[in-house]
Every structure is written in C-alpha cells, then in structure tokens.
Amino acid sequence: MMMQKSTLITSFSFFIISLAQAQSGYWQQRVEYTMHIKMNVMAHQFDGDQKLVYYNNSPDTLSKVYYHLYFNAFQPGSMMDVRSRTISDPDRRIADRISKLNDNEIGYQHITSLKQDGKEVVYKVNGTILEVTLAKPLLPKAKSTFEMKFNAQVPLQVRRSGRDNREGIAFSMTQWYPKIAEYDYQGWHAYQYVAREFHGVWGDFNVSITIDPTFMVAGTGILQHPDKIGFGYEKPGTSVGKETGDITWNFMAKDVIDFAWTADPDYTHDRAQVANGPELHFFYQKNEKTTESWKKMEEIAVKVFQYLNTHFGKYPFDSYSIIQGGDGGMEYPMCTLILGEGSLQGLSGTMAHEVAHSWFQMTLASNESLYAWMDEGAADFASSEAMASLDDKRNPHAGSYGSYFSLVASGLQEPASQHSDHYSTNRAYSTAAYSMGAIFLEQLKYLIGEDNFYKGIRRYYNTWKMKHPNPNDLIRVMEKTSGLQLGWYLRYWINTTKRIDYGFGQLTEKDGASLLDIKRIGDFPMPIDLVVTYKDGSKENYYIPMNELAGSKPDEGNPRIIAETWPWVYPTYTLKVNKNPSEIDSIEIDPSQRMADIDRKNNKLIMAERAPFKDQTK
C-alpha cells in the first residue's frame, strides 16, 4: 500500500514538474512497469508477469501500440544475423555467431497472454517487434493498463544481452523484457533490433526477480530490502540469514528509460561513496585479471563522477553500479555493464564513457537511433575531458579529430543525421556518432567560447533532464546562452558531409600594413581565429566573424582585433594586418585547433619558409 501511494505522489509531482518546465508544445509518454520474473538458471529460461500502466500524454488517439522483443534478434536468419553477415565491415563480436546458435542457445520472448484494461487484445510478432491492436483506442491524456504473461530464453551471449559470455558472467540481462516502444512527436519508434540503438519511455520500474540463492544480482534501481538479501547490499555490520530456497530480489527505479540487471554466483561486491553524489557499487569476478584493476578503478570512478557533476550538471540518482557484464561497455539507467578483464587504462576509459552516459542518455534521453551523435559523441566528449583532468593530458579530443580526418580520407563518410542502423559501414556509423559527435561539441566551444559552452551545456542539462531532447533543442539552448545563431552549424555538421578547409592566398604590402588573402577552400564556412606572430616575439590575435553566426564570440581571455565580417559566399577574404609583411614571422589560422579543418598543413604561414607572394592554394 505504501508503495502504491508513493507512486501516485511521484506521478503527480512529475506531472506538475513536466508542466512547469515543458518547452512549448512538448509532451512525452509515461510508463509504470511492475514485473515479476522467475528464473530457471539451469534451462536459462524465465517466466514473466508484466503489468504496464501506459499514459498517453500525446495529442493523438492511439489504436495500436508496439513492444520490442529484443531477444528474438538472437535467432539464425534474424535481421541482426543477416545484417552482420552481409555488411562489409561486420562487428567481430557478432560476425556469423547468431547463425550458429542451436535451439537451446537462441534467444526468444514468447507472449502467452496480453490484456488491455482486462480485455484480450489482438497482437502479432514481426521479428523483434510486437504489434498490438488495442481492444479500445487510447485517447489523448488517457491511460491503459496492459497485463502480459511471457516466457523467454536467454540467448548464449553474442552482443550485450545473454548468458555465459567469454568472461564467464552467467546472466547479462539487458533488453530482456517486452518493452513498449516510444511514441513521440515523430510517431512510433518501433525499430527492428538490427544492431543499435535504443529509445525508451520515461517512467518507473518495480522489478522482482526470483532466482537460485547462490546468485548475486546487480542492476538498475535501488534494492528494497538490502538487510534481508545481504550480498554486500546490507548496512555494514548487519547479519543476514542464509536462504536455502530461491530468493526474490526487488528493485525499484523512478524516472528512468529502461531497466537492466545481471546475475552471477561469483561476483564480488564493493562500494564507494561520491561526496555529494551517489553511492557507487562495483560487481566483478575476482581473479588475477580483475582484482587489482577493479580496486584501482574505484577511486577513478569517484573522481569521474565529481568532474561530471561539476562541469555538466548534477547526477540525479542516489546510486550507480559498475558491473562486469562480460561484453563491451553498454550504458543503462543507474548502471553500466562493461568488460571486466584487460588493462586498468582500458577498463577506466570504458567506465568513464559509460558513466558519462548517465548524463547523455540516461538523463538527457535523446533518441539514439536517430541522433546517436547526441549521446555517443557527448559521452565521449565528457568522459575524455574527465579522464584528461586526472592525468593532465593536453588535448582530450585529439583522437576524435584523428578518426574524423581518417574517415574523410577513406571516402566512406556519411551524414551524421542517419538512423544508426542504416549506415553503409559500421565505421561510418561509429565515426559519425562518437568522433563527429564529440567534435560537434568541441567545435561549438570554438564558435561560442568556452565559458558560454559550459554554461550552455549545464543549462541544456537542467532544461531537458528526464526528457527527450532533439538536436534543435540542444542548439536552441546554446543560442540562448551565447546570443549567437547556430542553426547553420547544426545543419552543416550533422546533415551534410561538407568539410572545413581554409588556407592562405596572397600577402601584399599597402601603406605600411599587410593585406592577407584568406581562402575558403572547403564548402563549410566558419568564423576564423587567427594569430599573427611578429619577429619581435609579440603576437596579435584577430577574429573574423562569419555572418551566419550573427555576432562574435567573447574573446576567451585573449585580447583580439575583431575584423570585418566575412559574408560566407565570398571564396576569398582580405584581412588587414597592422604591420608591414617584413615584420611578420608567421600567421596561423585556428591556433587552438578546435576547428575540424581537414587540411591543417595550409593553416600556418611561416614567412621564412615561403615566397611571400605565392598563392598557397594553387
């Protein structure tokens, strides 16, 4: 009864908050899941009961709803299997492994009963999507309760979810339950599970897992009865009785977009507290490949949380678990599953990336399928800065620029605006999502200045937390914070494959000053930071505004001369430099190297190395 009451109060206050913070016209659906799972650990199967209260906050009447049945992807001939066997650069973790799964190794989720408000509904399964025709249309601002019974087989681990993976984790239970698809202003996002990614409905989860008493369970949410369960969850010093029969673990999570868990008999459970932040839980199998690195990683994880709290906004939950899942890292609400073995450096880098997803996905829940760059790029960006802050590495984003330049050179680049599953190569996807996403933010610093950037990113976080921001929402907050216009930048960087390339033309002397021609060689216009170094060692900074920006960024602490605006249609611009060419030692475009200029060789003019009147672009 208490539980029921507190759920009601939370839903009500959530509604009020949503109204107060809502952007004009913004709405989002809401879910309340209550699930009970009974695991058969020998057969790798489970029976599930799912009660889902679904709130239609949309202005539309819904006659159908869709669920994801992700486990069905792990069957020979599935779209994930065929895609992996036909794409030119398959993910080696998947390759042809799905095609070789036996009947007792495949995954499935079978629905045995489904009712809407007590009435049976008609449904059909198409691959990894369950299409449900409602017994009664769901009106705007109305809710329905769906009651489902299902059984499932956990696939032998291939990617993300599964059992008995190569690091020996018994159950990595991600994408494990029939999950209602998100419906938003773009309609249903009921994508087949081909490879990636996810988009979930905000809501509350109450999950009970009944399992063999030797298994330790870790995952999303807060364990409701730690002193009875033990396994390191109990208050220190509490004595916990040993159970002989199956144990039921009950986890609750509020305002999350998904629920993941793992179970293994050999986990060790450590805890660490972040000052003014969450309690961290670490779950791993202790052995010669993990013991030392996991212990050392704990302190790094605390520092990463502190850095991200300061720079990107406050982590909104009380708890976070870092769990050896036995496959590459994957982010979930309030937890991550990562590979457990390997070097401390690799482990910490993956941990930091997945932790950063707590900001960029588990709080700012962008649609990963459509805008993977918004969460993968931002997570890479934030975690690189957090890790660099620990070891004073000079440029945390150099790797992202390198990957982007290399993709451009390969000829495989595709616009970052594509659906994650529809890139022609995995490489084009990953570079667009991770590297170009990170560069998008670093280059935004270049455009609006570092102070505006961090103010803006925290304002974005606080404005859009627990919602589904899209690219325009991000750029609008940055515009409001900086006073500059940035829509052009979003369109060029994300929707096209246009490239930035600037270089020098002629340098001539006139009335004791220098006239320097700057050439826009690429078809992506940018404002220009430029530094002139004189032979006496002094420097002069210039800033050339570009008219699409409709203004100039602040000076970022370096005095500078603001030159006349460059109307972007002009291929060449002439800058007047105050001193005679004979006094100049060198001139450099973009000395901070935050602009993704694909040819940096022509960005620096060293007077001694060049005939002064030669056009460098010819």
Residues that bind Zn ion (CB under 5 A): 376, 379
Instruction: Name which of 69 and 362 has its Cβ closer to Zn ion.
Output: 362
Helix (H) or strand (E) holding 352: helix 344-356
Report the sign of the C-alpha dihedral through residues 173, 121, 112, 223, in that order.
Answer: positive
Instruction: From 396, 434, 398, 460, select the one nearest 596 (Cα to Cα).
Output: 398
Closest contact distance (angstroms) between CB of 102 and Zn ion is 31
Closest contact distance (angstroms) between CB of 352 and Zn ion is 11
82: CB partners within 8 A, 6+ apart = none
φ and ψ at residue 43, rounded to 5 degrees? -85, -10
Closest contact distance (angstroms) between CB of 262 and Zn ion is 18
Closest contact distance (angstroms) between CB of 353 and Zn ion is 6
Closest contact distance (angstroms) between CB of 75 and Zn ion is 26
State the amino acid at position 237 in one-letter form. Answer: G
Instruction: Name which of 376 and 479 has its Cβ closer to Zn ion.
Output: 376
Closest contact distance (angstroms) between CB of 405 and Zn ion is 21
Instruction: Name which of 376 and 501 has its Cβ closer to Zn ion.
Output: 376
Instruction: Name which of 280 and 379 has its Cβ closer to Zn ion.
Output: 379
Instruction: From 469, 443, 515, 43, select the one nearest 257 (Cα to Cα).
Output: 469
User: What is d(CA 170, CA 159) in angstroms, rounded to the nearest whole number?
Assistant: 14
Instruction: Name which of 373 and 542 has its Cβ closer to Zn ion.
Output: 373
Instruction: Name which of 170 and 338 has its Cβ closer to Zn ion.
Output: 338
CB 33 within 8 A of CB 50: yes
Report the sign of the C-alpha dihedral through residues 20, 25, 26, 30, in that order.
Answer: positive
Helices (H) and strands (E) in the chain, counts: 13, 31
Closest contact distance (angstroms) between CB of 198 and Zn ion is 11
Instruction: Name which of 337 and 516 has its Cβ closer to Zn ion.
Output: 337
Instruction: Name which of 338 and 490 has its Cβ closer to Zn ion.
Output: 338
Report the sign of the C-alpha dihedral through residues 545, 551, 554, 556, in that order.
Answer: negative
**Per the omega criterion (within 30 degrees of 0), is the bond before 298 cis?**
no
Instruction: Name which of 156 and 379 has its Cβ closer to Zn ion.
Output: 379
Angle at 269 between CA 264 and CA 272, to 5 degrees: 150
Report the sign of the C-alpha dihedral through residues 173, 167, 381, 503, in that order.
Answer: negative
Closest contact distance (angstroms) between CB of 23 and Zn ion is 26
Helix (H) or strand (E) holding 398: helix 398-410
42: CB partners within 8 A, 6+ apart = none
Closest contact distance (angstroms) between CB of 500 and Zn ion is 26
Instruction: From 418, 272, 275, 284, select the one nearest 344 (Cα to Cα).
Output: 284
Closest contact distance (angstroms) between CB of 528 and Zn ion is 33
Residue that the structure tokens 């603001």 belong to: 562
Instruction: Name which of 253 and 379 has its Cβ closer to Zn ion.
Output: 379
Is residue 550 helix, strand or coil?
coil
Residue 124 exposed, middle or buried by CB count within 10 Å (0-12, 13-18, 19+)? exposed
Closest contact distance (angstroms) between CB of 360 and Zn ion is 8
Residue 219 in tokens: 């995952």
Instruction: Name which of 170 and 347 has its Cβ closer to Zn ion.
Output: 347
325: CB partners within 8 A, 6+ apart = 160, 165, 169, 172, 174, 262, 336, 337, 338, 339, 340
CB 535 within 8 A of CB 596: no
Closest contact distance (angstroms) between CB of 332 and Zn ion is 11
Instruction: Name which of 178 and 437 has its Cβ closer to Zn ion.
Output: 437
Closest contact distance (angstroms) between CB of 356 and Zn ion is 8
φ and ψ at residue 2, rounded to 5 degrees? -55, -45
DSSP 391: H
Number of Cα atoms under 13 Å in the Cβ half of residue 553 = 25
CB 151 within 8 A of CB 112: yes
Instruction: Name which of 376 and 385 has its Cβ closer to Zn ion.
Output: 376
Residue that the structure tokens 């499932």 belong to: 152
